[in-house]
């Protein structure tokens, strides 16, 4: 009787156990130009980080120009491809043009990442709005519906790079949507955005020195003539810009959750009620200052860690140590016959019979012992 009901009892037992949410993985670019993996376990209320690849070594010309920034991190959740951009200008002044941006891809192929490469030629302020590169020309970004989407710094212009190609990717156009918020706001300060599967942009910006959360239907954002106005909330009382800095937004993608990370405070918050009619609220995750460096941009969420390589650590062996190792190896070779040539008759016997032949210890015999 017990055996008959055992499967049912086990099902009921496991159903009664509390379910533990899986970890969620966010990727960001730090001010040291490294990709960071940020693991959020909301159930355990912990956040852990791990430094990954330094992108500056793969950007052509990095270190030779003015006001250089690597920003605009985005992930295609279907392929794992990572997008970012490199921006700079021709003057020491951050507000003097021409401003230049080069979009890049860090492509995932057969389960691992190739070397990052440019998606096409540079785009300048002759094409895009002339603004400032104080923290990057196109600092806010996301990947959505086959395109790399970016927001122009201190502007309300949205830029779309449709991505084409099979083995080698490239952008096929530069589409601009001015006044994407359809409001009196013309200059969006520091912040970030993501686009969800419900076709809504969720983002943050700084308006009149206050952190602001907004959302906007993508169909309205791309309607440059008569789109509906965005919805925005002043959230500075919850996350003060004066002490926490601007807000970077991460989430959605392979998740229904949304998180923000503050640039100065380096704190992680879970966003509650981001689709409601009132301002969202924020629940801190992990301890204060858990993020090691300032994040300049964040990605959507993926449910499993990406195979982004860790920084390479080189081990230097002193010359004296190499000498000791070489002498030790020489002595072992002499004692045990390591590396000695096996006599010809031994080699023949090994071919004739699978039984291991004892190798003589001591000096190596270099010639055959067969009578000639």
Residue 97 pLDDT: 83
- Domain boundary at 248, 275, 302, which? 302
**Would 19 be classed as within a structural domain?**
no
> Is 189 within a domain?
yes
105-119, 199-213, 246-260, 341-355: segment of lowest average pLDDT: 341-355
Residue 234 lies in a domain: yes
Same-domain status, 217 and 351: no
Q: Using the predicted structure, report yes or no on whether residue 121 has a pLDDT greater than 90.
A: yes
Provide the domain count of the chain: 2
pLDDT digits (tens, 9 = 90+) for 13-62: 444 444 445 899 999 999 999 999 999 997 899 999 999 999 999 999 99
**Distance, C-alpha 102 to centroid of its chain:** 18
Residues 206 and 331 in one domain: no
- Is 156 inside any structural domain? yes
Residues 163 and 298 in one domain: yes
CATH number of the structural domain spanning residue 96: 2.115.10
Q: Quick one: pLDDT at residue 138?
A: 94
Q: What is the mean pLDDT of the chain?
A: 84
Could you tell me if residue 17 is inside a domain? no
**Percent of the chain clearing pLDDT 90 (strictly above):** 72
* Total-model pTM: 0.80
Q: Looking at the domain assignment, is residue 126 inside a domain?
A: yes
What is the pLDDT at residue 90? 86
Residues 199 and 344 in one domain: no
DSSP helix, strand, coil percent of the chain (3-state; round to 5): 15, 35, 50
Do 360 and 232 share a domain, yes or no? no
Q: What is the pLDDT of residue 5?
A: 57
- 128 CB-side CA count, 13 A: 31
CA–CA distance, 362 with 283 (Å, rounded to integer): 73
pLDDT-derived band at 132 (thresholds 50, 70, 90) equals: confident
Residues 231, 359 within the same domain: no
Task: Please check whether residue 55 lies inside any domain of the structure.
Answer: yes
The most confident of the ranges 4-13, 245-254, 360-369 is 245-254
CA 125/CA 152 separation, integer angstroms? 11
- Look at residue 327 and give its three-state secondary structure: helix
Residue where a domain terminates, one of 302, 337, 357: 302
Please report the pLDDT score of residue 346 as a whole number. Answer: 47
Q: In sequence order, which residues have a C-beta less than 8 Å from that of residue 356 and are 6 or more positions away?
A: 350
Query: Do residues 134 and 161 both lie within one domain?
Result: yes
Whether residues 36 and 171 fall in one domain: yes
Q: What is the pLDDT of residue 245?
A: 96
Is the pLDDT at 336 greater than 50, yes or no? no
CA distance linking residue 175 with residue 158, whole number of Å: 8
CA distance 359 to 337: 8
- 1 located within any domain: no
The residue range of the domain holding 250 is 24-302
Same domain for 122 and 242, yes or no, is yes
**Residue pLDDT, tens place only, 281-291:** 999 999 999 99
Q: pLDDT tier at 134 (50, 70, 90 boundaries)?
A: confident
């Amino acid at each position: 009787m017990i055996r008959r009901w055992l499967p049912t009892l086990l099902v009921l037992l496991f159903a009664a156990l509390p379910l533990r949410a899986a970890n969620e993985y966010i990727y960001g670019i730090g001010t040291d130009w490294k990709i960071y993996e940020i693991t959020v376990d909301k159930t355990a209320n912990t956040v852990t980080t791990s430094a990954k690849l330094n992108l500056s070594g793969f950007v052509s010309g990095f270190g030779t120009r003015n006001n250089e920034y690597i920003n605009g991190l985005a992930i295609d959740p279907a392929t794992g491809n990572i997008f970012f951009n490199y921006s700079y200008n021709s003057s020491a002044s951050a507000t003097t043009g021409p401003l230049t941006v080069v979009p890049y891809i860090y492509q995932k192929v057969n389960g691992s990442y190739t070397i990052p490469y440019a998606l096409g030629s540079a785009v300048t302020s002759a094409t895009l709005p002339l603004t400032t590169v104080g923290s990057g020309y196109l600092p806010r970004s996301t990947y959505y519906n086959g395109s790399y989407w970016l927001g122009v710094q201190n502007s309300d212009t949205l830029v779309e790079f449709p991505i084409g190609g099979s083995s080698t990717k490239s952008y096929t156009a530069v589409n601009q949507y001015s006044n994407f918020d359809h409001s009196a706001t013309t200059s969006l300060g520091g912040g970030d955005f993501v686009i969800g599967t419900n076709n809504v942009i969720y983002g943050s910006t700084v308006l009149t020195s206050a952190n602001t959360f907004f959302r906007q239907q993508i169909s309205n954002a791309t309607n440059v003539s008569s789109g509906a106005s965005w919805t925005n909330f002043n959230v500075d009382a919850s996350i003060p810009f004066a002490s926490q800095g601007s807000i970077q937004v991460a989430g959605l993608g392979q998740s229904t959750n949304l998180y923000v990370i503050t640039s100065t405070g380096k704190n992680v918050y879970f966003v509650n009620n981001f689709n409601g009619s009132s301002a969202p609220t924020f629940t801190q995750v992990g301890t204060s200052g858990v993020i090691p460096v300032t994040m300049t941009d964040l990605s959507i969420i993926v449910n499993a860690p990406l195979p982004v390589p860790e920084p390479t650590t080189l081990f230097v062996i002193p010359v004296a140590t190499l000498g000791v190792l070489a002498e030790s190896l020489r002595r072992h070779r002499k004692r045990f016959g390591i590396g000695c040539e096996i006599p010809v008759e031994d080699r023949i016997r090994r071919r004739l019979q699978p039984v291991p032949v004892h190798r003589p210890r001591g000096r190596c015999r270099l010639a055959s012992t067969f009578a000639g």
